Amino acid sequence: MITIFTALYCEAEPIIQYFDLKRQDDINGFQLFSRDPIHLLITGVGSINAAIGVTSLCSSSLYAPDFGDIIVNIGICGTKNLSLGKGSLLLGKKIIDLSTYRAYYPDMIFEHEFTESTILTSPVPVTGSVNNSAIVHSLHTEHSSIYAGSTEISMTECAGLRTQSFIHKDNTNTISNEWLSDAINLFATDMEASGIFHAAKLFYQPHQMFFFKVVSDYQDGEKLRKQDVLSLISDNIGQIAKWILPIHDELQSRKPMVFSEQEKALLNRTAESLRLTVSMQFQLKGLLHYYKIKNGDFTRDLEQFLKENIKQTCKNKNEGKKYFEKLRKSFL
C-alpha cells in the first residue's frame, strides 16, 4: 500500500488523474481517493490537520499500514534559494518544526537523484526571511529534542552526530552568521511535513516515509493561482511515481517475517508488563520486526531487557511509557 498525503485538492488533483484514483467514503471528514495499492488523503493546511489526517487514516482497519507499505507527502514549498527554479523537485532529508523546535529524520536508504533539502514546517505561511533565532534555538537549547527516525534523543546526546551535517561552529563555539545565512538558502518551507512525520512515526518506520516538495515561490508573498499549483505537481508526479513504485515493490517483496509463536508470546508478555496502549503495541511490533531484519533475532535481547528493567508489571501507563521509551532507545 502507498498512502499519499497532500494539503490541498489542487495538489492532489494531478496525482488523482495520474493514478486514476476514485473517490471513496470520507475518513473523519477527510477526502479520500483510492485505487489499490494507492490511497490519497487530503489533510487540509497546517501540521495539526496533517497529523489528524494521518492518524485518522492509519488507525482505520481498512487502511492500517503494514511493514511493506510506504507513506508519501507531496506538496508545494517556498525557498530563499534563487538557484532553485520554480518547479524544482526536492526530497526532504530532515524536517524541523518551527513551533516545537523538534527535528525529524526520514531514513534515506534508497538511492535517488533528487535534490535533497531540509524542510522547515511553519504554523503560518512564510514570507520574507526565516526566523534564524528559532533555528539556532532548535539546535542549542537543552530542552529541545531531535527525533532520529522515531526515537527522541536529547540535544546533548546527538551533539556532533546528527547536527554535524547541519551546523558549523566557529572557534568560539557559536554558529557562524555567514554559514547560517548560506544554510538558510538550502531550506524549503511548508506547513505540514512535521505533523505528518510526527503522526506517521506511530505506524511506520523512518525508511517507509518520503517527503517531496515542489518549489512554488521564493517566500516573497506571491499569490499562487490554482492553475500554477496544478502545473507544478503535474510536471513532477511522473518522476515521483517512477521512483516510489519500485521501492514499494521491493518492500513488499521483503514483507515481514511472521513472528514465531515464541516471539508472539514474548511480545504479549512485554505489552502486558509495560501496560502498553494499542498504538504502542503496534510500535513495539514494528520496532522489533525492524530489529529482527537487521539482527536475525530479538528474543534474547528483549528477554535481557525485561530481566534488567522490569521486575514486575508496571503500576500504571505512565510508568510503562517511561520504560517503553527506554526500550525503543535500546533497540534502535
What is the average pLDDT across 278-285? Answer: 80
- List of residues 6+ apart from 331 with CB closer than 8 A: 287, 288, 291, 298, 301, 302, 305
Q: What is the pLDDT of residue 155?
A: 32
Residue 227's CB is within 10 A of a number of other CB atoms, namely: 9
74-94 per-position pLDDT tens digit: 999 998 888 888 999 999 999
What is the average pLDDT across 124-132? Answer: 65
Residue 172 has pLDDT above 60, yes or no: no
Query: How far is it, in rounded angstroms, from Cα 56 to Cα 132?
Result: 34
Query: How far is it, in rounded angstroms, from Cα 68 to Cα 256?
Result: 7
Q: What is the pLDDT of residue 228?
A: 93
Q: What is the pLDDT of residue 233?
A: 96
Q: What is the identity of the amino acid at 6?
A: T
Query: How far is it, in rounded angstroms, from Cα 175 to Cα 131?
Result: 15
What is the average pLDDT across 123-145? Answer: 54
Nearest by Cα to 332 from 146, 79, 69: 146
CA angle, residues 25, 77, 49, in degrees to nearest 5: 35
Distances in Å between the alpha carbon of 283 and those of 49, 113, 134, 149?
22, 31, 31, 13
What is the average pLDDT across 2-13? Answer: 96
State the chain's mean pLDDT as an integer.
Answer: 80
| Highest CATH level, class, for 2-253 | alpha beta
What is the average pLDDT across 257-285? Answer: 84
Share of the chain above pLDDT 70, in %: 81
Distances in Å between the alpha carbon of 235 and those of 18, 70, 171, 228, 238?
11, 22, 46, 11, 7
Residue 174 has pLDDT above 60, yes or no: no
What is the average pLDDT across 89-105? Answer: 90
Residue 29 has pLDDT above 70, yes or no: yes
The domain spans of the chain are 2-253, 261-331
Residue 103 has pLDDT above 70, yes or no: yes
Q: What is the pLDDT of residue 2?
A: 95
Q: What is the pLDDT of residue 4?
A: 97
Nearest by Cα to 194 from 106, 70, 130: 106
What is the average pLDDT across 172-187? Answer: 47
Residue 161 has pLDDT above 80, yes or no: no
Residue 65 vs residue 53, higher pLDDT:
53
Query: How far is it, in rounded angstroms, from Cα 186 to Cα 93?
Result: 11
pTM of the model: 0.68
Going by pLDDT thresholds of 50, 70 and 90, the confidence category of residue 150 is: very low
Residue 291 has pLDDT above 70, yes or no: yes
230-254 per-position pLDDT tens digit: 999 999 999 999 999 999 988 888 7
Among 82-96, 148-162, 178-192, 302-316, the range scoring the smallest mean pLDDT is 148-162
What is the average pLDDT across 103-127? Answer: 87
End-to-end CA distance of the chain: 25
CA angle, residues 261, 332, 271, in degrees to nearest 5: 40
Q: In the chain, which ranges are E strands?
A: 2-6, 22-23, 31-35, 38-42, 70-79, 89-97, 102-104, 115-121, 145-148, 151-154, 187-190, 209-217
183-214 per-position pLDDT tens digit: 454 689 999 999 999 999 988 888 899 999 99
